[in-house]
Amino acid sequence: MHKVTVITGHYGSGKSNISANLALEGAENGENVTVVDLDIVNPYFRTADLKDFFGEKGIELIAPSYANTNLDIPALNFDLGLIAAKDDVHLIVDVGGDDDGAVALGRFSQQLKECGDLEMLYVVNRFRYMTREPYEAQELMYKIENASHMKHTGIINNSNLGEETTKETVESSLEYAKELSQKVGLPVAFNTAPDYLGLNDERLKNVKVLIKPIWAKDM
């Protein structure tokens, strides 16, 4: 199997947590999973923080050599195109927030487009600044596409309020996701809910909170 999943979105939308959940799900299903942390903009809440966890699950992690340091140099020490060309791998790419982070993705757009099974999913959180309204999320999505020279194939509704997320929080975002889907002409791949809520709803995909602020309480 040769599959590439690119995850984009606004800062704080939960891209990295979604990427980690997809990687874990793939590994549990017997896939050979590689995660590339392409977030060279934000040094916090990154998939690079899960190196040990991924190792325990048999998931390969590739990240800039300066990840988890105080350096902020927009350079990569790996060739994403070559990684994507590997056979028998599910590659998950966690892209930096907004159009600034998508610039790095654009360097490899042509090589990624040549992959037979490629999806690019846009993560939205209606409770984040600049994406509270569907038209705002739409504008940002197009900016990411322009910067990356790639087109999205679907939307992930990851609307939440962190530790304050409730069943009502999640359910209130479903219409928002539907409206955004209609505006951009793309399907909603899935709507998420934190697994600790214990919701049994076929409309929702329960996800683990694998990446969270250091001040967050244990859940």
One digit per residue, pLDDT tens: the chain, 219 residues? Answer: 579 999 999 988 999 999 999 999 999 999 999 999 887 666 555 676 788 899 999 999 988 765 455 545 445 667 787 887 788 899 999 998 888 889 889 988 998 888 878 999 999 999 998 999 999 999 999 999 999 999 999 999 999 999 899 999 999 999 999 999 999 999 999 999 999 999 999 999 999 999 865 445 444
Note whether residue 218 is domain-resident: no
Note whether residue 185 is domain-resident: yes
The pLDDT score that the predictor gives to residue 157 is 98
CATH number of the domain encompassing residue 126: 3.40.50.300
Note whether residue 54 is domain-resident: yes
Q: Minimal CA–CA distance to 7: which of 121, 112, 117, 115?
A: 121
Note whether residue 183 is domain-resident: yes
- Residue type present at position 75: A
Note whether residue 196 is domain-resident: yes
Note whether residue 137 is domain-resident: yes
* CA-derived radius of gyration, the chain: 16
State which residues form the domain around 118: 2-207
Note whether residue 212 is domain-resident: no
The pLDDT score that the predictor gives to residue 76 is 67
Q: Minimal CA–CA distance to 145: which of 118, 108, 120?
A: 120
Tokens representing 75 are 């350079």
Note whether residue 146 is domain-resident: yes
Task: Tally the domains of the chain.
Answer: 1
